[in-house]
Amino acid sequence: MTREEIHHVIRFFKKLFILAALLFVLDRGLGLFFQYLYERKPPPDIQAFNHVMNTPLEDVYIFGSSKAVHGYVSNVFADTLGLTCFNAGREQTNILYADIVMSEMLRKHAPKLVILDITAKETVAHNMEASKLILASLMIPHINTDTSFLRIGKALFPKEVFAARLSVLQRYNSQVLPLLTGARKNRFEENGYLPVHGSKVEGDMPAFQDKGESYDTTAKNYFEHFVTMLQAKHVKLIVIQSPYYVQKFTTSPSLDALMPIIKKYNVEYLDYSFNPEFFKKDYFYDNVHLNDKGAPIFSARLASDLRKDFEKNDTALLSKLQSHE
């Protein structure tokens, strides 16, 4: 190699070093800025998640996907049952998210009652992947300070953990827009319930579509673990199918996978999916999500049904209810 060629190589590595240094400074600077915004006032979903994971206190927790988030009014259950209640559901998730969060929550607090909303697409593969991404976005900012989150991350989303340990900015990339815009819907005002307003339901009632979906066989294992860990802690579990506004169907591959587990462990299961009381277009924001008109009506009916059931069949839990009145 000539002297001139050596000189070019040295210049190249100098430029590369300067670029790496600039990227490092930029990453740390922006990362620490977003860390400040995040810690000063976390987005609502982060606040709800952090509460459930770190400071759970309520007697009743509601889990599930967006059907749970928008369909179960926490305050209605609290008023009817005489127990404190928090909606811990999360959009774009499935049983994987519920199982991971409940596993960690039980290390600190065992509620008296858990309501789990399941959907007819509970075990669809892309829902499993979406749950991992949601968990990553919620846990990654804490992986350097929370050993439990780090352990979960290494098992479920190791690539994201690796990237976040190299880059401070990477830890907050999914929160950049809400942190900058400050656009927030405060879930704590409604104890985790997040209403949606109005209705987008138009035209003919659609059929339930699950053709062409791929299903994750591990989902039923997460579901079974969710059931057994609650039973081991003597926590009452009730599994619900909440209302739809689609053409009536009786089952799906997901339901076929989960129902044997429900029967095996004698889990109470209530199906309101096509109850005529709620099968009304103006109760729905879209064809699967109740709106702010339908959710309180459904929640009142479910809470009343639960109260009657406890009075008849679960006097031990009823005594807990009465002790709070």
Residue-level pLDDT at 322: 55
pLDDT in tens, 226-252: 999 999 999 999 999 999 999 999 999
pLDDT in tens, 285-314: 999 999 999 999 999 999 999 999 888 877
Tell me, yes or no, if the pTM score tops 0.85: yes
**46-50, 62-66, 173-177, 214-218: the lowest-pLDDT one:** 173-177
pLDDT in tens, 123-181: 999 999 999 999 999 999 888 888 899 999 999 999 999 988 888 888 887 777 777 77
The 3-state secondary structure of the chain reads: CCHHHHHHHHHHHHHHHHHHHHHHHHHHHHHHHHHHHHHHCCCHHHHHHHHHHHCCCCCEEEECCHHHHHHCCHHHHHHHHCCCEEECCCCCCCHHHHHHHHHHHCCCCCCCEEEEECCCCCCEHHHHHHHHHHHHHHHHHHCCCCHHHHHHHHHHCHHHHHHHHHCCHHHHHHHHHHHHHCCCCCHHHHCCCCCCCCCCCCCCCCCCCCCCCCECCCHHHHHHHHHHHHHHCCCEEEEEECCCCCCCCCCCHHHHHHHHHHHHCCCEEEECCCCCCCCCHHHECCCCCECCCHHHHHHHHHHHHHHHHHHHHCHHHHHHHHHCC
